[in-house]
Structures are given as C-alpha cells and as structure tokens.
Amino acid sequence: MARSHPSRPAPPSAHRAHGPQGPARPVFCPIVPPHLLERLAGADRPAAAEAARRTLVADAAHRTRRRLTAVPAPTPAEGPPPRRTVYDAQHGTALPGRKVRGEGEEPVADASVNRAYAGLGATSDLLLDVFGRDSLDGAGLPLDATVHYDREYANAFWDGERMVFGDGDGEIFLDFTVPVDVIGHELAHGVTQYTANLEYYGQSGALNESMSDVIGSLVKQRVLGQDAGAADWLIGAGLLGPDVTGQALRSMKAPGTAYDDDVLGKDPQPATMDDYVRTSADNGGVHINSGIPNHAFYLFATALGGPAWERAGKVWYDVLTGGELAGDARFGDFARLTVAAVRERFGSDGPESEALAKAWSTVGVATR
C-alpha cells in the first residue's frame, strides 16, 4: 500500500519543463532533498539548524530563478573549448565566482577545487569512453563548477549551467566535493536536460533523480575500478558528519537504510511500489520514490555482474537518449523502454533480458 508523507503543497505546473522535442528548461536539482533540510532546520542543533534554514532560503530562490530562464541550444565552438573550469565563490553567492583552475592546469592548494576538477573529469570520461557522448550536451559543452558557495551552505546543485558546491555545515554535512558520485549525479542532470528532459515532478522527476543516481554511482565505481558486486551502491558516502548515524544520502542496494539518525530521521526511500510515497513535498517525492527505479537498476546490474557500466548502464543510457522517453514518463513507461533497449542491444533470449524482467518484477513495476 502506498504511504503518505508529510508535505507542503508544490503544484506540478510550477516544475514542469518542455518535452524532449522542445527547448530544455533548466531545473534546480540539489543533491540534498528539502525534507532533510526541513527536519534539520527544526533540530536542537543551533549551528546546523541555522545552516539548514539558510540553505532552504537559498534553494527556494534558485528554484524561482530556474523557472524563469530557458537554456539556449548549444552552438558549435570554434576550436576546442576549455573543458573544465573551477571557480571559487569565496563564500558569496555571485556565480560563477573567481576562476581558480582551468583545463590542464596544475593542482592548487585548495582540496575542494582539486576534487571538483577531478570529478568533472571522471564524469566526462565515463560519458565519452563508455557512452560515446561528448560532454553533457553531446556537443562538447564546457564543464564549469563553483566551490565554496555561500557560508555553511549544506547542498550541491546543478543549475542548468554549472555545478555548485557548498562546504556543508561541518557538523551534519561535510564538504560536498568529497563524494565523486555527488559530482556525477549533479552533472547527469545536465545530460537529462539535453536529452529526455524529464519533468521534475512525480514519477518523471523520480526517474530524473534516479538517472542521476545511476550515472553518479557508475562514475564512482569506474573511478574505484569496481564491478557491480564489489560496489557499495551508496550515494553520498563520506558526506555525512562523523556523529550522524548513517552511511550516505541514499542506498540503491537497500533503499530506506542509508541513515537512521536522531536529527535527520529515517531514510524514507521505498524499494518497491508497495511502499510508494504519495506526497506533494519535494516536487512530488522525486528524491524519495527514486529508490524504486534505483533498486531495479541495482538488481539488474548485480545479476549481470562485471562492471555495471558495460551492460546495465548502457541500457539505461539508451533509453534516456533514444528519443522515445516522454518528458512526463512514469516508471512503467521507462521500464517498457528498457525491455526494448535490452532486446535491441543484447537480443531477447540472453541473460540480460531475463535479469531485467526479474529486476522490474521485484520492485513491482510492470513492463507490459
């Protein structure tokens, strides 16, 4: 039976984007969902609570600005553009900030800058080497990132143009450049923006978030040289402070188990449709119900074994970029397209088709 979740109204129309055939409209996509920040804002931890309140205010402003600005189509560059540029906001909010490291330049003394630079590169490498995709837009879009955004800003986000990292509050959330999968996750929102352009609400929004978790996890696994069986399948491991009872923001292996903390509460992600959460908060639960397609991908990848990007990742990427995934797609729509994609890539009688069918059946999503 579907669960309800405490919520504040968030009209779907406020978060909708054009479909895949229209111009991409950027959506503010943070890694830390608002329900976590709202809980932290009311906690008896004065410094962390104040940082959460400030973050919520900043995030609300970003959501408003994103709805007012459309992304122009990329124009071909004359000659190779700089691929990576990292800026320092110097604890302000003006973007992009001061340039501190460009493509090919030596590491600097600031570890956040170097981690951001490396994470941009690792994501770009996955897209190009595995999927044959030249940057987020497929046309060599330069990758920009800004570190040290605001003071004690407890989030990281893709704003339609660049990655932005906060330093965290130092108590509940640490520096957001630490987990490379967070970087891959946020950049993947850019890939979605330029391809299927999934609406950031309800099941399509949960698919948007899940696709970013999948790509973020693949980036991390590839950096670590892990196959599917050896990976931890955690999103944001290393981000939570040492006193937090939890491992990460989300678990693709076991949704609902990433944390269970006195301050943050218990991870609300469901693993199957039996526990689907109906809520108007968090754009209709995009960071919550993403646990269902996340778990399906985990089951599919681990059943196949080997590096998850070699077979399972390519099926998910085929669907995201194939042109048939509607902007308002639901879980069943995505699942049916993965069935077609796996048959196209691997045939209908192989282990890939069998593993995929079992994965979607386990999480309760019909493929017919």
- For 221-272, the pLDDT digits (tens) are 999 999 999 999 999 999 999 999 999 999 999 999 999 999 999 999 999 9
pLDDT tier at 15, thresholds 50, 70, 90: very low
Residue 82: is its pLDDT beyond 70? no
Residue 19: is its pLDDT beyond 80? no
pLDDT tier at 56, thresholds 50, 70, 90: confident
- Cα–Cα distances in angstroms (integers) from residue 355 to residues 16, 358, 359, in the given order: 33, 5, 6
* Identified catalytic residue from 152, 171, 186, 199: 186
Domain ranges of the chain: 14-363
DSSP state, residue 278: E
CATH, domain range 14-363 = 1.10.390.10
Residue 43: is its pLDDT beyond 90? no
* 343 burial type by CB count under 10 A (0-12 exposed, 13-18 middle, 19+ buried): middle
Separation between Cα atoms, residue 185 and residue 162, nearest integer Å: 13
* Identified catalytic residue from 35, 287, 295, 352: 287
Q: Read out DSSP for 155-181?
A: -EEE-SS-EEE----SSSB--TTS-HH
Residue 95: is its pLDDT beyond 90? yes
Q: Which residue has the tokens 């996955």?
A: 126
Residue 9: is its pLDDT beyond 60? no
Separation between Cα atoms, residue 185 and residue 220, nearest integer Å: 10
287 is catalytic: yes
pLDDT tier at 98, thresholds 50, 70, 90: very high
- Tell me if residue 359 falls in helix, strand or coil: helix
What is the percentage of the chain residues whose pLDDT exceeds 90? Answer: 77
Separation between Cα atoms, residue 192 and residue 189, nearest integer Å: 5
Separation between Cα atoms, residue 5 and residue 289, nearest integer Å: 11
Contacts 24+ apart (CB under 8 A), 229-235: 229/302, 229/305, 231/308, 233/298, 234/181, 234/258, 235/179, 235/181, 235/182, 235/185
Separation between Cα atoms, residue 358 and residue 300, nearest integer Å: 8
- Cα–Cα distances in angstroms (integers) from residue 321 to residues 123, 193, 301, 324, 330, in the given order: 17, 11, 19, 8, 16
